Structure 1
Amino acid sequence: MWKGKAESPSAVVPTTTQCATTQRDAESTTISAQHGSIINQPQLTGVNVTGNITTNINNTYVQAPARTDETAASPKTKENIQRCQEELQSYLEDETENLFQGTEKDGSSTPMNKIYTKLYITAGGSGEVNSEHEVVVLECRRCTSEEEIQLNDILKALPNEDKPPQRVLTKGIAGIGKSVAVQKFTHDWAVREANQSFQFIFPFTFRDLNLIKDKLYSLVGLIAEYFDLDLETSDYKSCSILFIFDGLDESKLPLNFEKNEMCRIVTKTTTVDALLTNLISGKLLHKASVWITSRPAAASKIPPKFINRVTEVRGFNEKQKEEYFLKKISDNDVAQKICYHLQSKPLRTLYIMCHIPMFCWITATALQSLLTGAHDSELPKTVTEMYTHFLIIQTTRKNEKDYQEVETDKDRKKERDKDMIMKLGKLAFEQLQKGNIIFYENDLKECKIDLKEAAVYSGVCTQIIRRESGLHRQEVYSFIHLSVQEFLAALYVLETFIESGQNLLPSQSKVRIRSLSGESLMVLLHKTAVDMALANDHGQWDLFLRFLLGLSQDKNQSLLQNVFGFEVRRPLNNQETITYIHRKIKNLSHTDKSINLFQCLNELGDQSLVEQVLKYHNLGDVSKMSPAHWSALAFEVLLSNEDLDVFDLKKYYKSDEVLERLLPVLKASKTALLSDCNLTDRCCEYLSSALSSKSSGLEELDLSRNQLLDSGIKLLSDGLKSPDCKLQRLSLKESGVTIKGCQSLAGGLSSNSSHLRELDLSHNKFHDGGLKLLSKVLNKCSLKTLRLSECGIKEDGCKCLALALRSNPSHLKNLDLSRNSFGEQAVAHLCGFLRQPDCQLERLWLSKTNLQKESAAALASALASNLSQLRELDLGENKLEDAGVMEISSLLKDPNCKMEKLRLAGCRFTESGCAALASSLRSNPAHLRVLDLARNDLRDGGVQLLSELLAESLCQLETLNLRCCTITATGCQSLTSALSGSSALKELDLAYNRLMDHGVELLCDWLRNHQCRLEILRLSECTESSCASLASALRSNTSQVRELELMKSHPGESGLTLLYELLNDQEYRLQTLTVPT
């Protein structure tokens, strides 16, 4: 049968004493099965689950084979399969229909469909190991933009996939709700609501498989130990089957994929480990599907090549937290008070931790009791206070249970409670040191814990009973959540130090240390704990440290003394500990660890650094801010409700040192704007660490105009290699990159090119050599935008680039090669790429690339091959002349041409070229939105031809640049006459022409036209009279102009006055005015 594992309040309610009991625990009925197997009919006694969960999904490399069907099976086989399927579904429906709150004996079960709400699942995640404490990662993490997917679709093909994933790994931190996802998935299948493509689902837990790890089984025999099915051996091959293995992090199996013997036959007897590795690798029942759940730290036990998709359970989102409390607590007023309390700024940490369903349950348990109690109690404000109240509440409930004779002596009760808490704390600490979250009967006996008494303490220590397939019994234990284990461990270490002076932490000799007054030197314990937590690279002791310091507070000590009778001590001054932590923050090179130290200061009631930094920052006096202050600001920002999607260093202070201290904020953002911030290669090392961090959601990084140099690019590339790097857009414009930097960058992209979509390397002189190195990896990338403006690229570099793009033409949408000196032969190479049938290029920038009229002909021919894709073309500052413009114009009249932006500034063409351009556009006027013809000798005749285009009813031109085109008032009259009808034009540049006052007056008449939609106008050499006319026109009720630029003008005092009055008057739309001063 299936052994469920209670893991979160959504998945579990922690007061359960028996979360799942296999059939082996119950009286077994032996029946005959095929091939002499013995089948024990199973029984499940309870699995506790409530609430919502959040999950992530990420696809990896292996293509799943098609699921099997039974079309080839005989009628008799089909009948047997159908019967067995119905029996299994009926059985699993019964075992998964209820979620238990409290123990099953209390009868507090709730139907799954009543308490359980829709899971929120998003695309993303990898199978790599996390190097930070799970709770700390959660606190520093903000949601990234990922594709939503439903729980029941986890094993289905996504819209962009041909086949479903065959092997799925779901990871999530302790208590986040992985097991409840398994139970919900299984239940929906059993009641025939989802995933009916699977004929059989067999759920197992690693916790249960640990008990038979030394036994030998065939796959048929293993299934027989759990499920009462009379399947033929041949049925396994003809059926579509899903195996679920829950709790990989609890596995004691070696999972030796390399050395285990091969097993392809379902009746072959081998080790349980070999059965699992052969199933997961696809050697045994190669068409069966496998779903595995795990905490992140253990996910790497499965080689990535065997996983098709990685998903991540993320817990509750903001809306679901409130929804949980409203469902969990019947009194809506109490539920609303809890939500309001948690959302207040001082309690932001508690609210963030409510992403974990189990913490929601702990919080609801503690706060509901305090709010509905007979006496008014101050509500908890820190994590430690919350857990202290939770422990007290669970102890109170325990005393109400029928354990032994009723205790009437309060002192005896306190003594017994304290003794039990210390035993549990000893167990928690010793197992935490070993890295264990599950333990066995011998572990409890070593701590002198009575098994029956432990069962009574069900709210503190969850007993999960497992038996060895009817052969022997063995009990498995765990705390309801890792954080409860860490809390009890901290309590045990602290109280041992207080009562005996013995420091149990490993970095100190275990001797008794007393001050002259006889009181324990608490600061010694604190310092030891701080040093121990900082020395651990994986954050194993981070939350333990918080609890230890929080429990040292007089308020929590008083609660523990009153309820449990812990030793009374004089009030403690923690200032020396606070000073020690301040010093550590100041000198800390690992900025992520500083966040946990600020949480520790919060537990100690110290806000001095945060208060100072807010004062300096609000006054704009950042010169007084020390490195520790910047770390404090990072902590404050992370705990605020501030939108962290965009991190802009310019809002703070532009330097490497400040960026390093604010790195946790950067990691929580999606976009980091670091351009022109005086950064050097020093910043690249910690930016690299941010890119490779699992908790980072960074998708866009702009490092333009910083002197990073090749040394910085090398460091940055190390982060790009990480499978956890989610970066999609990277700008390194003008960063001092040479050929060496390109080599490093190419190495980073070749290792992990799956996410990056935009790369900007403009204004770096790496020449052809650097581009050759980059081109080697472009055929593996999925870049949509590549910017290489002014990189010293010539013919050889262009040839390598074109060849790389020809081998991978379907991704690139935008290509910028402007300001490189190509020549005619380079264009020929580029045209080879443009002619590819799969070329999807939409925007091509080739301004100032030394193109000639001959190049224009070749380019036009190549672009015609995929003309329907092209949306923007920039050929400005090239010597195309009239002949070249005529070639480009031929594209525009093609009905397939949907070009929206055309830039031909400075191409040295005249009225003749303009005639061809205007003629082509008149035959296909509906698509073009932007036309830049600046710095060409169009004269009034050319403008008149363009005006005919503008008069077309289908013309949708919004931006027209005619700067420096030798236009006079005559051309201006043609233009305004054409625009006087309905026009879409919003931006017009006529600067550096010869309009004179008369030309400006004609423009002003048009601006007064109620059909004029112009918003931006650029002129030059305007006189005082012209400025007065403009001010008058812009004061008309119809004027839409919000930006006016008057270069090299002479407005005079009166003209300036009129224009500035207009700018400052909120009644009018003008927002930006540029005039000579």
Structure 2
Amino acid sequence: MTTALALLQNILEDLERDNLKKFKSRLKQEGPIKAGKLENADATDIAEIMMECFRAEEAVEITLNILRKINQNQLAEELQNKYIEVQKSLEPAAKRIRKQDDFWLQEFLKTHKMNMKEKVEHIFECKKTNEVHLKDVFTELFITEGDIKEVNKQHEILNIDEAIKPHKPQDRPIKCNDVFSQNKNKKKIVLSKGIAGIGKTVSVHKFILDWAEGKANQDIDCVFLLPFRKINCIKVEKSSLHEFLKKFNPELKDLETANICEIYSCKLAFIFDGLDESRLTLDFDSGMVTSVDEQSSIDELFTSLVNGTLLPSAHVWVTSRPAAANQIPPEYVGLFTEVRGFTDQQKEEYFRKRIKNVTQASKMISHIKKSRSLYIMCYIPVFCWITATVLQDIPIENNADNINTTLTEMYIHFLLIQMNMKSQKHDRKTERERTKLLDSNKTTILKLAKLAFEQLKKENSVFYE
């Protein structure tokens, strides 16, 4: 770090006064450095400020980029060549250190990957016996790069209308595994929005599963999955980032104090899933956290990761329903994506994966296509699952015209399936007669309906009590 500091100081001192001003102006756009800090800073000060805010390699890379932008290519080349020489001279010593420390670190990373894989590899469908492996049913979604300026407070039902419109030729698809590699911006935040049931969480889980199995994003050492639904349950006033992460990752509890810093110097990715469910009060102008062992509120830990004052080199991915996405200020977002659900081709692919019997799958797809509203709604993955569940429960013969598959009828039949499962689980009996099922569950259904209606009026989509 000291060597990198000296290199930066020497190079910046070679800049003429006007070019140093241009350098400071460009540096203000890089993120965590506050403009006031740079106002009266000379070359030595600038180098020190950069080393405080960035890792050594990152500080050098940022300096190289700015030098090229202000047409100081000769100085940029000089800095690059000297930094390469320094790295080569330090390499043997670094290798010796790594040999001693490598074993515990590799063991930790292996345990962490195994634990993350176990968390995400199954999809829970109603009951334990219906648990399926993610890879068996996962179908790639249509995800596109969006315009962060379009994030608004529009009601979700209006976003559904937008989502079912034909895709435009300029829509650039992005695979879930590529969200970080497609973010060419210096801002590390990826923000993904999409309506309820569109597949945001499943995409996040597929990203983690492929990473844990060594199939993608192997430049990342640790991925931390942090669902807001679970974050809401943490009832502490103050916590350090390390203590916070231990609540989600038990393997961190076994680390010795001396090894904690080593983990946070690795390449990390934080995935915050479901911002719309968050009960945090987000104030991006409040006090900022700069260290993993600094005590702070959960709100400030999150905002500090997003604005880059805490672990500035870490990747951060936030998913949200549309109405809540505007809680993240656009100046911190490097890549904004929209999860658009299934294309027509992906709908069919899902049903063929979900229904293993080829003939049954073909009949189901053919039947769904007969109902325009049903077929359109199947762009939402969770609705595809509901449809498959219902139509598996009703045998589809060659003549399926007698099966009523309006959206209302579909939801009613799905509710009946759920009630029947409840009867099997709690009452130890199977009841196929519709009237008896409804009568025995009427009180509960009405209470649930009232709860949902009253809470939705308050714009509260998650309740625990």
The answer for the alignment partner of 1:283 in structure 2 is 309
**1:110 to 2:136 alignment:** no
User: CA 1:413/1:386 → structure 2, altered by over 3 Å: closer, same or farther?
Assistant: closer
Q: Does 1:330 align with 2:352?
A: no
Partner of residue 180 from structure 2, selected from 151, 155, 159:
155
* Residues 1:269 and 2:291 are matched in the alignment: no
2:86 is the counterpart of 1:86:
no
Paired with 1:165 and 1:303, the residues of 2 have a C-alpha distance of: 12
- Which residue of structure 2 lines up, in the alignment, with residue 356 of structure 1? 380
Task: Check 1:178–1:436 CA distance in 2 against 1; reply closer, same or farther (3 A cut).
Answer: same
Aligned residue for 1:85, secondary structure, equals: helix
Matched, 1:343 2:374: no
Aligned partner of 2:152 in structure 1 is 129
Paired residue type of 1:100: F
Pairing of 1:186-205 with structure 2 (within 5 A): 186-205=208-227
Q: Percent identity?
A: 38
The equivalent of 1:97 in structure 2 is: 121
Aligned-partner Cα distance in 1 for 2:382–2:460: 19
Distance 1:389 1:357, change over 3 A: same
State the Cα deviation string for residues 384-433 of structure 1 (Å, max 9, x = none): 22212222232233323343688899977543211121111111111111
> Does structure 2 retain, via aligned residues, the 8 Å contact 1:157–1:164?
no
List gaps (5 residues or longer) in structure 1: 1-60, 442-1077
Does 1:175 find its partner at 2:189?
Answer: no
Structure 1 residues 414 and 350, CA, compared in 2 at 3 Å: closer, same or farther?
A: closer
- Between the two proteins, the alignment pairs up a number of residues equal to 372
SS in 2 for 1:439: coil
Q: Residues 1042-1057 of structure 1 correspond to what in structure 2 (within 5 A)?
A: none
Deviation, 1:352, is 1.2
Alpha-carbon distance between aligned partners in 2 of 1:409 and 1:361, rounded to the nearest angstrom: 23
- Structure 2 unaligned segments of length 5 or more: list them: 1-28, 33-53, 59-86
Deviations 1:666-703 (A, max 9, x none): xxxxxxxxxxxxxxxxxxxxxxxxxxxxxxxxxxxxxx
Question: In structure 1, what is the equivalent of residue 242 of structure 2?
Answer: 220
Deviations 1:587-632 (A, max 9, x none): xxxxxxxxxxxxxxxxxxxxxxxxxxxxxxxxxxxxxxxxxxxxxx
2:448 corresponds to: 424
Instruction: Tell me: CA distance 1:421–1:376, structure 2 relative to 1, closer, same or farther (3 Å).
Output: farther
Supply the AA of the counterpart residue of 2:444: M
Q: Deviations over 1:182-231 (max 9, x none)?
A: 11111111111111111111111111111115431101111222211226
- 2: CA distance, partners of 1:379 / 1:62: 59
Aligned to 1:400: 424
Q: 1:339 to 1:409 in 2, by over 3 A?
A: closer
Q: Cα gap change, 1:321/1:405 in structure 2, threshold over 3 Å: closer, same or farther?
A: closer
CA deviations on 1:764-804 (whole Å, 9 max, x unpaired) are: xxxxxxxxxxxxxxxxxxxxxxxxxxxxxxxxxxxxxxxxx
Letter in 1 for 2:375: Y
Deviation track 1:264-283 (CA, whole Å, cap 9, x = no partner) reads 11111111111111111101
Whichever residue aligns with residue 152 of structure 2, its letter is V
Return closer, same or farther for 1:135/1:279 CA change in 2, 3 Å cut-off. Answer: closer
Change (3 A) 1:318 1:301: same
Note the 1:1-40 alignment, pairs <5 A.
none
Deviation per CA, 1:878-913: give whole Å up to 9, x if none: xxxxxxxxxxxxxxxxxxxxxxxxxxxxxxxxxxxx
Q: Which has the higher contact order (CA 8 A, sep 6+)?
A: 2
Cα deviations by residue, 1:970-1003 (Å, 9 ceiling, x for unpaired): xxxxxxxxxxxxxxxxxxxxxxxxxxxxxxxxxx
Counterpart contact for 1:200–1:240, Cα < 8 Å: yes
Runs of 4+ with >6 A deviation? 61-71, 405-412
Q: Quick check: 2:282–2:327 contact (8 Å CA) kept in 1?
A: yes
Larger-Rg structure: 1
**Are 1:234 and 2:258 an aligned pair?**
no
Cα–Cα, structure 1 residues 407 and 372, in superposed 2: closer, same or farther, change >3 Å? closer
In structure 2, C-alpha distance between the alignment counterparts of 1:179 and 1:410, rounded to whole Å: 34
Equivalent-residue separation in structure 1 for 2:112 and 2:324 (angstroms): 31
Q: Kindly provide the amino acid, as one letter, of the partner of residue 327 in structure 1.
A: K
Where do 1:541-940 residues align within 5 Å?
Answer: none
1:302 is aligned, of 292, 309, 328, to 328
Separation in structure 1 between the aligned mates of residue 449 and residue 401 of structure 2, nearest angstrom: 26
Contact 2:164 2:376 (8 Å CA) reproduced? no
CA 1:280 to 1:135, structure 2 compared with 1: closer, same or farther past 3 Å?
A: closer
CA RMSD of aligned residues (A): 3.1
Residues of 2 paired with 1:185 and 1:312: CA distance?
16
Aligned 8 A contact 2:31 2:307 in 1 = no
Shift of the alpha carbon at 1:128?
0.8
Match of 1:379 in 2: 403
Distance 1:410 1:300 in 2: 44
Shift of 1:165: 5.5
Label 1:405 to 1:225 Cα distance change in 2 as closer, same or farther (>3 A).
same
Q: Which amino acid aligns with 1:129?
A: N
> How far off its partner does 1:250 sit?
0.2
What's 2:20 paired with? none
**Are the equivalent residues in 2 in contact too, given 1:168–1:292 (CA < 8 A)?**
yes
Give 1:238's aligned amino acid.
Answer: S
Conserved 8 A contact 2:141-2:346? no
Aligned to 2:181, the other structure's residue is in SS state: coil
CA 1:357–1:406: 2 relative to 1, 3 Å: closer
CA distance in 2, matches of 1:413, 1:120: 39
CA contact under 8 A between 2:192 and 2:319: conserved in structure 1? Answer: yes
Give the TM-score normalised by the residue count of structure 2: 0.72
Q: Secondary structure at the match of 1:308?
A: strand
- Is the contact between residue 420 and residue 432 of structure 2 (CA under 8 Å) also seen in structure 1? no
Equivalent residue letter for 1:207: R
In the alignment, what sits opposite 1:143? 167
The aligned amino acid for 1:175 is: G
Q: Is the 8 A contact 1:213 1:273 kept in 2?
A: no
TM-score normalised by L of structure 1? 0.32
Q: Secondary structure at the match of 1:217?
A: coil
Look up the equivalent residue of 2:404 and give its one-letter code: P
Aligned to 2:38: none
Cα gap change, 1:117 to 1:406, in 2 (>3 Å): closer
Question: The residue matched to 2:143 in structure 1 has which SS?
Answer: strand
Work out the CA distance in 2 between the residues paired with 1:85 and 1:103. Answer: 32
Deviation at 1:333, TM superposition (A): 3.1
Relative to structure 1, the CA distance from residue 144 to residue 219 in structure 2 (aligned partners, 3 Å threshold; closer, same or farther) is same
Distance 1:279 1:208 in 2: 18
8 Å contact kept, 1:135–1:353: no
User: How far is the alpha carbon of 1:81 from its aligned partner?
Assistant: 2.7
- Structure 2 matches for 1:403-482, cutoff 5 A? 403=427, 414-441=438-465
User: Do the aligned partners of 1:206 and 1:247 also contact (CA within 8 Å) in 2?
Assistant: yes
| 3-state DSSP of counterpart to 1:95 | helix
Counterpart of 2:63?
none
Aligned counterparts of 2:327 and 2:108: Cα–Cα separation in 1: 33
Distance 1:216 1:376 in 2: 60
**Cα deviation, residue 171, structure 1:** 0.9
Q: Give the aligned partner of residue 207 of structure 1.
A: 229
